Amino acid sequence: MTTTSPPRPPASSPRGPRTRFRRRLAGALALGIGLLTAGVGYTVLTPTAQVAQAQGDAALIAKGQQLYNNACISCHGANLQGVQDHGPSLVGVGDAAAYFQVSTGRMPLARQEAQAVRKPTLPQFNPETDEGKANLDALGAFIQSNGGGPTVPAVTGAALRGPDPARGGELFRLNCASCHNFTGRGGALSSGKFAPPLDPASEEQIYAAMLSGPQSMPKFSDRQLAPAEKEDIIAYIKSVSGDNNNPGGNPLGSIGPVSEGLVAFIVGLASLIGVALWLGAKS
């Protein structure tokens, strides 16, 4: 009679606990490397928030806040949130909007009306003086620190004129002439509003207006009009401003070819009527 010995339990491998520990350690290291890679990628690839970019020189921002409290707070509120029936919120409008409105004298408003009109700037915000430029920079820095927004370019004056005014003329006729007329002399809009003439505007003011879209004007981001295209538009506007577009003859207000045809039609029609009346009286 044969007897069978009971089955032996499987011998445990002496490396079992050590292998599990190594696997856990490798998994933890892989997870840590993955998290670190994701964090580095997020930091590098994600654009920085506008509010973070807007944090500039603390002293400059403090000076701008003081100027804002003196000239703007009654219409736009203590926190730039706006005041009903007085002024809109300035949060996120950016340095470009503040520069355009203040440097052209449109702000502060003299009274509530359909559209803010250009008027002489306050002495402390005159862009033609060093003090005025410094104050405009400070006010813009304070506005920019509250929500970010479009900013005026670093270059100024003739440096903002592009090399191709012919292309600028095409872009102007495509995007701007319907309101500002073919040579930037302005025109009437609805509800008491109007597109102002562009002769008095400086290069910086034109650029800031394209970025901020004041009142009825649309905004032109860099995706709609690249910076080089904006500069070409400025070059065209300056090439036809003032007497630059009148090499000879009567300028007729420089409002485009329609005026010349209209004047010729009226003069010709009046001449024909005069001749007809003369012939009738003679007969």
Among candidate residues 100, 133, 152, the one where a domain is terminated: 152
Indicate if the pLDDT at residue 207 is higher than 90. yes
In a domain, 263, yes or no: no
Same domain membership, residue 133 and residue 73: yes
Name residue 187's beta-bridge partners. 195
Check which CATH number belongs to the domain holding 69 and give it: 1.10.760.10
Residue 265 lies in a domain: no
Whether 15 has a pLDDT exceeding 80, the answer reads no
Split at pLDDT 50, 70, 90, the class of 69 is very high
Contacts of 176 (CB under 8 A, 6+ apart): 184, 233
* Token pair belonging to 254: 């420089």
Is residue 214, in this structure, part of any structural domain at all?
Answer: yes
Q: Give the chain's domain count.
A: 2
Q: Is 163 in the same domain as 73?
A: no
In terms of domains, do 146 and 160 share one?
no
Do residues 81 and 146 both lie within one domain? yes
Q: Is residue 137 part of a domain?
A: yes
State whether 108 and 160 are in the same domain.
no
Residue 139 belongs to what domain range?
Answer: 51-152
pTM: 0.70
From 152, 185, 203, give the residue that closes a domain. Answer: 152
**Per-residue model confidence as pLDDT tens digits over 144-172:** 999 999 999 999 999 999 999 999 999 99
Query: Directed axis angle between helix 94-103 and helix 130-144, to 10°?
Result: 140
Give the mean model confidence (pLDDT) for residues 266-282. 90
**Main-chain phi, psi angles of 137, to 5 degrees:** -65, -40
Among the residue ranges 60-69, 118-127, 189-198, 235-244, the one predicted with the least confidence is 235-244
Q: Could you tell me the pLDDT band of residue 70, with boundaries at 50, 70 and 90? A: very high
Residues 254-263, mean pLDDT to the nearest whole number: 65
